[in-house]
Amino acid sequence: MQVSFILPLYNQLELTQACLDSLRATVPAGLAHEIILVDDGSTDRTREMLRDLGPPHVVLLNDRNRGFAAANNRAARVAQGEFLALLNNDLVLGRGWLDPMLAAFAAYPKAGVVGNIQLDAETGAVDHAGVVFRNGGYPVHYRAGLDEIRSLGAIAEFPAVTAACCLVRREWFLRQGGFDEGYRNGFEDTDLCLRARDDGFANLLATASVVRHHVSGSEGRSDHEFRNARRFLARWGPRTAALEEEWNLRLARERAAAEAGNYFAPFHRRLGLGNRSLRRSHRRALNAVRRSRAQGSGALRIGVDLLRLQPGGANGGVKPFVLSFLAEIGRQRGAEFNFAVLAPASLRAELAAVLRPRDFVIEPAEAPSGGPVPIPGVARTPRPRTLSVHRRDRDGWRANGELPVSDATLAKAGIDVLYAPFGTSEFLSPEIPSVSLIVDLLHRDLPAALSVEEVNHRHARFAEVARTATYFQCNSRHVVERLGHHYGVPPARCFHTYNAVQGRLPDVDAPLPDGAPHDPFFFYPANFWPHKNHEALLVAYRLYAQAAGSRAWPLVFTGHPDERMAQLREMSDGLGLAERVAFLGHVTDEALVALWKRAGALVFPSLCEGFGMPLLEAMRFGVPIIAATASALPEVAGDAALLVDARDPQALAETMRRVAIRTDVKDALVARGHARLSAFSLELEAGRLAHFLASAARRQTP
């Protein structure tokens, strides 16, 4: 089915009937569609009318008035169409209104929410031609004349559009959770459009699509204006103020271009005409046009500081997360983005699979000192003295000169924005916008997992970055909340991108690595850092194994081999588990796939996680999940895991026993995992990061 038309209803029977009549008359011939009507507690004869409707109508009845957002969300959950056409019941639809909106999605793969021109049904004046921001970021309808609006082209980009009549992809709408039901009959559509922008989509106006709207014909439309506005501005205020400035700059440039076109300065100067102020105005206009063209057409150079990244698995999930995102952004943005990656020479082979022709690696000319920091987060990055630049060509790498290191290094390299996947960078500069990735607040939420020196160092660097970074990329909503809690970073400077890289592993048939059991086993793929809580798992596993006897599943650990792995192996031997627990160290991706395909269950008892990437890998390979109730794990797992207090070995052991012996429990978890996995899309998450990198680079910031 192509389109699901959704109409929330609350009284106004005559308007509803007129809207339905116009909809039925204007649905394109042959269009596979359904019309979903949600009665939101009407007290007039609306429900009597609904009783007589058959296919393609679908009728949903709410027990009470739940509001515009909730009614649309309920309909979207049962809809079958690829697109949702969200309609107010006080519209009158004209012939040909839908096709231009569908055409916008066909022409623009990154279309988010598509709206149209809406005329006041009483006066015929333009009531809506997009949403812009005024007076410090307050949303208002753009109401220019029809000729002016259509001069923008068949499809025009706006910060937002109204949901009185709009089109959106159902899959994305559901993944976003639909409208925010914290709003009541207002602002929820602008909020949705801004979330679309954050996902890297453009909100578009189909100027050939025109409908008539009985403006504010719906009951209760303005009853909650103040509360809605307060909620909206608390979340989006700084961002919408920046969008207002961007829109005003766009209008100023268009006026400047018009002035430049109307005044031919060289001719006037030859004739001795035109005063000095007029010539200055002309120069300013021309410069504004040139800047606008340069900003709109030039590739953005993204500097990426990966100097702390190491070969192998020493950095945990940060490496596959960052490299997968860079590869996906390169695929999406093509020539719009140019990467200049600061990285050690030992990573050049791995980067070759990610970077494209015309991208760069910038390597220290000398080996860095200071040693690795084994736990990801805000890490020390000694600044090298000289950087060697290599350009990626189709046939390999080509030397491209050297850069002396100074505070102006990034500017000399032509970098527009610095991306810091380790939180901070020695190359941060007030002159260069930056986006910092924060994967957790381990040093504040679980300081016992780090040395006192590391806690103090991280705190000092976080406080510094909190003042200077343009935007913060967090890998869950949980981390956004903790960043605000500990450092007062406002939500307008934060965005979250889930680590949706479950597809990075090749789906191949490979042999199990040496030492891996062939029977089903409990699996814990994680580096052996203190907060991963391996000790509690070993104690819990001993309790489980004693109770299960010969039927006990083995336990398998993978992770970067280090001193702590050796200590945990000694602990395992001391508990009498040497024959049951396997420490496999760091394994290849192919071996990891073999382990996932044989695993009986994932056990993830970590005490502090910003995300938890193995949860998504378990969902992908149909492995049931046991996870801790701590930090971001419930947010990621949803209903697809058994959550347990990982500080309680007895409770953890009992949960392991339950999963091992209950086939119905395993099957239910696997089914919920497959369903849950659809909420995580690398394309969407990488698009969101690309949007914020571009916004920072172009100074479109709060």
> Could you report the per-residue pLDDT of 25-56, keeping only the tens digit for each?
999 999 999 999 999 999 999 999 999 899 99
Mark out the alpha helices in 575-629 (DSSP H runs).
Answer: 589-598, 613-620
* Spatial strand order in the sheet of 522-525: 581-583, 555-558, 522-525, 601-604, 625-628, 642-644
Distance in angstroms (rounded) separating the CA atoms of residues 519 and 551: 11
Note down the domain range covering 270: 263-297
User: Tens of pLDDT along 608-641?
Assistant: 999 999 999 999 999 999 999 999 999 999 999 9
The answer on pLDDT for 298 being more than 90 is: no
Is the domain of 473 the same as that of 521? no
Check residue 622 and give its pLDDT. 97
CATH number, domain of 613, equals 3.40.50.2000
The answer on pLDDT for 289 being more than 60 is: no
What percentage of the chain exceeds 70 in pLDDT? 90
DSSP letter assigned to residue 646: T
Question: Of 67-76, 105-114, 314-323, which range is least confident?
Answer: 314-323
Is the domain of 162 the same as that of 293? no
Q: Between the CA atoms of 212, 214, 218 and 223, what dihedral angle is there, to the nearest 10 degrees?
A: 120
Q: Extract the tokens encoding 93.
A: 């639809």
Is the domain of 278 the same as that of 233? no
Check residue 317 and give its pLDDT. 76
Is the domain of 306 the same as that of 443? yes
Average pLDDT, whole number, for the chain?
89
- Mean of pLDDT values over 472-501: 93
CATH number, domain of 65, equals 3.90.550.10
Q: Extract the tokens encoding 566.
A: 């050796």
Q: Which of 466, 456, 387 is nearest to 423 (CA)?
A: 466
Domain boundary among 192, 221, 238: 238
Check residue 196 and give its pLDDT. 94
The answer on pLDDT for 356 being more than 80 is: yes
Q: Extract the tokens encoding 125.
A: 């004046």
Quick one: pLDDT band at residue 377, thresholds 50, 70, 90? Answer: very low
Q: Which of 281, 234, 218 is nearest to 255 (CA)?
A: 281
Is the domain of 200 the same as that of 277? no
Is the domain of 365 the same as that of 291? no
- Mean of pLDDT values over 650-657: 97
Question: Of 139-153, 259-273, 393-407, 577-591, which range is least confident?
Answer: 259-273
Is the domain of 582 the same as that of 650? yes
Which helix H or strand E contains 534, and what residues bound it? helix 534-548
Domain contains 629: yes
Q: Between the CA atoms of 682, 379, 367 and 350, what dihedral angle is there, to the nearest 10 degrees?
A: -10
Distance in angstroms (rounded) separating the CA atoms of residues 390 and 339: 12
Check residue 368 and give its pLDDT. 47
Check residue 202 and give its pLDDT. 94
What percentage of the chain exceeds 90 in pLDDT? 69
Domain contains 247: no
Domain contains 254: no
Is the domain of 164 the same as that of 20? yes
* 247 vs 159, more confident: 159
Is the domain of 154 the same as that of 142? yes
Check residue 375 and give its pLDDT. 42
The answer on pLDDT for 385 being more than 70 is: yes
Is the domain of 334 the same as that of 412? yes
Contact 432, 408 (CB under 8 A): no
The answer on pLDDT for 201 being more than 50 is: yes
Check residue 371 and give its pLDDT. 43
The answer on pLDDT for 271 being more than 50 is: no
Contact 24, 16 (CB under 8 A): no
Domain contains 568: yes
Quick one: pLDDT band at residue 376, thresholds 50, 70, 90? Answer: very low
Domain contains 248: no
- Mean of pLDDT values over 289-306: 70
User: Tens of pLDDT along 539-558?
Assistant: 999 999 999 999 999 999 99
* 295 vs 533, more confident: 533
Q: What share of the chain is helix, strand, coil (3-state, %, to 5)?
A: 45, 20, 35
CA distances from 356 to 154, 258, 333, 392, 417 (A): 34, 39, 12, 6, 18
Is the domain of 153 the same as that of 271? no
Domain contains 601: yes
Is the domain of 487 the same as that of 508? no
Q: How far is C-alpha 350 from the geometric centre of its chain's CA atoms?
A: 25
- Mean of pLDDT values over 683-690: 92
Q: Extract the tokens encoding 258.
A: 């018009």
Quick one: pLDDT band at residue 237, thresholds 50, 70, 90? Answer: confident
Which helix H or strand E contains 8, and what residues bound it? strand 3-9
Domain contains 246: no
The answer on pLDDT for 244 being more than 70 is: yes
The answer on pLDDT for 283 being more than 80 is: no
The answer on pLDDT for 383 being more than 80 is: no
Domain count, the chain: 4
Across 48-64, b (16+ Cβ under 10 Å) vs e yields: ebbeeeeeebbbbebee
- Strands (DSSP E) contained in 326-423 are 337-342, 360-364, 386-393, 396-404, 417-420
Check residue 393 and give its pLDDT. 86
Question: Of 6-10, 318-322, 662-666, 668-672, which range is least confident?
Answer: 318-322
Domain contains 93: yes
Q: Angle, to 10 degrees, between the axis of helix 452-468 and the axis of helix 477-487?
A: 90
Check residue 291 and give its pLDDT. 52
